Amino acid sequence: MPTGPLDAITDVAGVEVGQTTLIRGDNVRTGVTAILPHAGNMYRERVPGGIFIGNGYGKLTGSTQVDEMGEIETPILLTSTTSVPRAADDLISYMLSLPGNEGVLSINAIVGETNDGWLSDIRGRHIAPEDVTNAIRDAKPGPVDEGTVGAGTGTVAFGWKGGIGTASRRLPATLGGYTVGVLVQSNFGGILTINGAPVGQELGQYYLRKEAGQVEGVKDKADGSCMMVIATDAPLDVRNLKRLAARAWVGMGRTGSSASNGSGDYAIAFSTASQVRIFTSDVSTTRRTEVLTNDAMSPLFEAVIEGTEEAIYNSMLKATTVTGNGHTVEALPIDRVVTILRQHQLTK
């Protein structure tokens, strides 16, 4: 399918992304990425959301309330594993401070993570309140920085440098003209596959290569995690948002993920369509709105599969080599990848 003009999650109108990148000394390589479904007061103007858990070996604060209520009432934050509680606390403080929220007594902060402990001092929990606040306040529409930024600063994917990646797909007018945007925080392993080509094997870096007669290294392990955030302007109810989130797993699988025991893989999908927005000022006990039917979902499924696959590739292709915490993780060697794809007749 064609991409949106930015090929980013921000191709979905209203969505904003902000990031704080922390690179300090020899061992701090971490950060925060904030995804805002819209620029208003998220608590007062909520969006419907659905979560799919591919493998629950991770920490996704706020997920149970989203599952129960189907509503997202804060920006979505991504960060480092041990910084999730601090980021959630900072997000709650930020939301409580907003004009109009003076009487709010409960905030369901949504914070996801991947483990950046190979390149960063994860035990130090270096995320500070201003890092969260800055990521949210700096959020904007338009192009999104990818690679070694924000929550992707210290991540590793398939033994190469991972990071933040994004992509989008736009349905043709005959199918509604809707846009699906995806943003990922890649930090997982397996056998890197691009457009069907066994890139990881041909580069000599892949899961289980010891068992295949090669020398095993830490970077060849398949553990890790992947956070996938999906935005769409299609008017979807919570049930179909969950179904949409589930298809992100198919896109992740196309990249060669081994879905390992130690890989915490989560997808969060939300709709920005005005007709499905939830206003706390609405005191009515009933709602009437139009949403897409089940039969209209298949093109959106294809869009999120393609978008997730590309976003993961982009997270690696835009990343740079990083040294930190006593280790070095190389960026994916793009020239060699292009050569492999040409050999498999998958690129010009």
Please compute Rg for the chain using Cα positions.
19
Spatial separation of the C-alpha atoms in residues 70 and 212, rounded to whole Å: 45
Backbone φ and ψ for 62, nearest 5 degrees, come out as 90, 0
Spatial separation of the C-alpha atoms in residues 110 and 107, rounded to whole Å: 9
Is there a catalytic annotation at residue 225? Answer: yes
**The dihedral of CA 297, 298, 302, 305: what is its sign?**
positive
**Which member of 258, 263, 271, 315 is catalytic?**
263
Spatial separation of the C-alpha atoms in residues 230 and 184, rounded to whole Å: 9
Spatial separation of the C-alpha atoms in residues 133 and 124, rounded to whole Å: 19
> Which H or E run includes 252?
helix 238-254
**Which member of 121, 145, 233, 265 is catalytic?**
265
**Which member of 83, 120, 225, 271 is catalytic?**
225
Is there a catalytic annotation at residue 282? Answer: no
CA atoms within 13 A on the CB side of 222: 18
For the beta carbon of residue 287, count every other beta carbon within 10 angstroms: 9
Is there a catalytic annotation at residue 265? Answer: yes
For the beta carbon of residue 213, count every other beta carbon within 10 angstroms: 6
Where are any strands of DSSP class E within 272-310?
A: 278-279
| Residue 145 in tokens | 């920085």
Find residue 114's DSSP bridge partners: 80
The CA distances from residue 215 to 207, 210, 220, in Å, are 11, 5, 10
Residues with a catalytic annotation lie at 225, 263, 265
